[in-house]
Amino acid sequence: MGQQLQIKAGWLQGIRQVPTCRYGSRPQPLEISLIVIHGISLPPGSFGGPYIDALFTHTLDPKAHPYFAGIADLEVSTHLLIRRDGSITQYVSFLDRAWHAGRSAYKGQAECNDYSVGIELEGTDTEAYTKAQYQSLKAVIAALRAEYPDIGSRIAGHCEVAPLRKTDPGPAFDWSWIDRASLP
């Protein structure tokens, strides 16, 4: 991802967009001040295929895989997905609340979905993410910071905002690609 990404009216330009009905309104006044990084693979440990899109758009067939019976009716979504090849899909406008973090808190502020952008990386806690994913993630973060400067250095893993429930993006995620400490 060598180009600079732009955001217009809450949508990242030049990427695949698959709008979902699974989102809500953000509280007003609008505050976007956190990025939450997740990891996902469907079925677990498998990459590619239509299942992540289907989960986030409420079209996942519970009979397509035994694992799906337990998750097909979950009301979940995310703002962005970055696939293993670095391609990006957006499901929810940044101006709206995606349902990615669940019950969560960051630095004492509860309900992260209200003020965060959720970014899913196709992967698992234990398998290394790809260089293409990190490059796309860096470009996305730069665009989000430019549009929503309150984000600054506020970037967390799902495991940090919901530590009793979640482990992603997991130990395989290389935080050195994301310099959280030196950002404004």
- Evaluate if residue 50 carries a pLDDT over 60: yes
51 pLDDT higher than 60: yes
Helix (H, G, I), strand (E, B) or coil at 56: helix
What pTM was estimated for this model as a whole?
Answer: 0.95
Q: Is 55 helix (H, G, I), strand (E, B) or coil?
A: helix
DSSP annotation of 153: T
pLDDT tens digits along 31-46: 999 999 999 999 999 9
State the architecture of 7-177 in CATH terms: 3-Layer(aba) Sandwich (3.40)
pLDDT of 184 higher than 60: no
**Domain boundary assignment for the chain:** 7-177
| Residues designated as active site | 120
Paired sense of beta strands 7-8 and 11-12, if any: antiparallel
pLDDT in tens, 122-180: 999 999 999 999 999 999 999 999 999 999 999 999 999 999 999 999 999 999 998 66
Residue 182: pLDDT over 50: no
- How distant, in Å, are the alpha carbons of 30, 33, 63, 167 from that of 108? 19, 13, 40, 19
pLDDT at residue number 48: 96
% of the chain residues with pLDDT over 90: 94
